Structures are given as C-alpha cells and as structure tokens.
C-alpha cells in the first residue's frame, strides 16, 4: 500500500463525497488544447522509455494516445458530455421492479489507469416517473468513462438515477475484472469484483432477492 493512502487513513481524511476529485479549472481548456498538451507529455514519456518517435509506426502514437484519453476513455470527466436522460410520466402506473441487466462496463482504474471491464445490473421501482431504457446504459457509460474506483462508480450511478426518477428505490450491482489485478501485480486472472449499492425498497431482503433471482436466471 502506498504511503499517501496510509497517511490519508491515519489522518481520518475519510469523507462521504462521491464526486470525482477534479481541479477547479478542470474544463477551462478546450478538448483540442488538452489533446495538444497531453500529446506533448506522452511523447516525453515514450522518449524516456527509450522509444524512437521518428519511427513511422510510433510517430503518431502521442496524438492517438491523447485523443483516446480526452475523447474516448475519459469523455465522462466533462459534464458537457453527460447524456440527456429522457424521463416520462408513469401514465401506466407500472409499480413493480424494472431490471436493466448486462449493461457493459468499460472503465479505467484510477490507481493504475488500466481497464475495468464487466457488467452492471440495475433495477428501480417507478413512482411517478419512468426513464428511457437506453438512458440507463448511457448513464453507466458516462460515469464509467472516467478514472474510477468501482465503489464510486456504483454510487454515482445510483444517486443520479434516484434523483431523476424521484425515488430511493434503486439498486446498482456491478461485477467487473480489474486488469490491475489480473495483468500486473498479483496477476490473478480469475478473480473479479462485485459491488452492490441500494436504498429504499431494496433495503428489504425479499426485494433484493427478487432482483438477484432475475439477474442470475434470465437471458435474452
């Protein structure tokens, strides 16, 4: 464990903040400016590793890397990219659980910047509002495309859905493999991580078990 982590725990710097830690000026620069700066820094990293950037296969890598970070892997850092969530009136008075399952998780671990891949399963019990199904997948994709820890990813999704759906009755389960565990360090190829966050009706074990039953038994 690194020294900063031990010191943070020792100093009781534990808060309930689920926001991704961002600098106040995080979005002062345009995407193009960020790409230009990251390209420059990544070229330096490659050179430090001893790579010859005049090679025709390597010369475009700093730009490719920078564009991938800003526009693809970490597009979810910038609130301007947050998906618009279509919310509809629950005219049909559907009051039972709705489950959106096998949602692809493509994320990156904030400690090593290596992939986290797996699936999310999400359910809610509607009150007066329902959400367009694809918007659940889009919200997951947005929060996943940040440097993340799985616990915070689960909570960010949960809190947003609770807010837009005006209900506490939401459950978010994520099972994912962390390449920082499987491909470096301990190199455990088989283990994966499951997080479960919920509130409202899902505090009831019967309700949770109904959700787990659907997630474990259904396919399309």
Could you tell me if 177 and 192 are in contact, meaning their C-beta atoms sit under 8 angstroms apart?
yes
Taking the complex as a whole, the smallest distance from the CB of residue 178 to ligand GTP amounts, in Å, to 5
Residues noted as catalytic: 109-112, 150, 178, 180
Give the residue, chosen from 44, 82, 111, 184, that forms a contact with Zn ion under the rule CB under 5 A. Answer: 111
User: Which residue stretch of 61-69, 91-99, 147-155, 209-217 sits at the interface with ligand GTP (rule: CB under 6 A)?
Assistant: 147-155
CB burial string 149-169: b at 16+ within 10 A, e below: bbebbbbbbbebbbeebebbb
Helix extents (H) in the chain: 3-10, 31-48, 61-67, 133-144, 150-165, 179-182, 205-217
x/- map, 159-188, ligand GTP, by CB under 6 A: -------------------x-xx---xx--
The verdict on whether residue 121 carries a ligand-binding annotation is no
Backbone angles phi, psi at 204, to 5 degrees: -80, 125
Could you tell me if 109 and 180 are in contact, meaning their C-beta atoms sit under 8 angstroms apart?
yes
13: part of which helix (H) or strand (E)?
none
Give the residue, chosen from 85, 109, 171, 215, that forms a contact with Zn ion under the rule CB under 5 A. Answer: 109
Give the residue, chosen from 18, 155, 180, 214, that forms a contact with Zn ion under the rule CB under 5 A. Answer: 180
Check binding of 113 to ligand GTP (CB under 6 A).
no
Check binding of 79 to ligand GTP (CB under 6 A).
no
Give the residue, chosen from 1, 14, 49, 206, that forms a contact with ligand GTP under the rule CB under 6 A. Answer: 1
């Amino acid at each position: 464990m690194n020294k900063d982590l031990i010191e943070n725990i020792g100093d009781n710097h534990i808060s309930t903040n689920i926001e991704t830690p961002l600098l106040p000026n995080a979005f002062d620069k345009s995407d193009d400016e960020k790409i230009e700066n990251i390209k420059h820094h990544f070229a330096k990293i490659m050179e430090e590793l001893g790579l010859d950037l005049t090679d025709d296969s390597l010369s475009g890598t700093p730009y490719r890397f920078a564009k991938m970070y800003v526009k693809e892997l970490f597009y979810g850092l910038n609130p301007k990219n947050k998906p618009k969530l279509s919310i509809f009136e629950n005219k049909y008075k559907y009051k039972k659980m709705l489950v959106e399952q096998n949602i692809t998780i493509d994320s990156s671990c904030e400690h090593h910047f290596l992939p986290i891949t797996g699936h999310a399963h999400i359910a809610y019990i509607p009150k007066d509002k329902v959400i367009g199904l694809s918007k659940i997948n889009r919200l997951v994709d947005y929060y996943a495309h940040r440097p993340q820890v799985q616990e915070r990813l689960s909570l960010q999704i949960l809190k947003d859905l609770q807010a837009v759906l005006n209900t506490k009755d939401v459950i978010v389960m994520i099972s994912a493999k962390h390449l920082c565990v499987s491909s470096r360090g301990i190199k455990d190829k088989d283990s994966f991580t499951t997080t479960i966050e919920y509130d409202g009706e899902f505090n009831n074990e019967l309700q949770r078990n109904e959700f787990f039953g659907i997630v474990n038994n259904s396919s399309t």
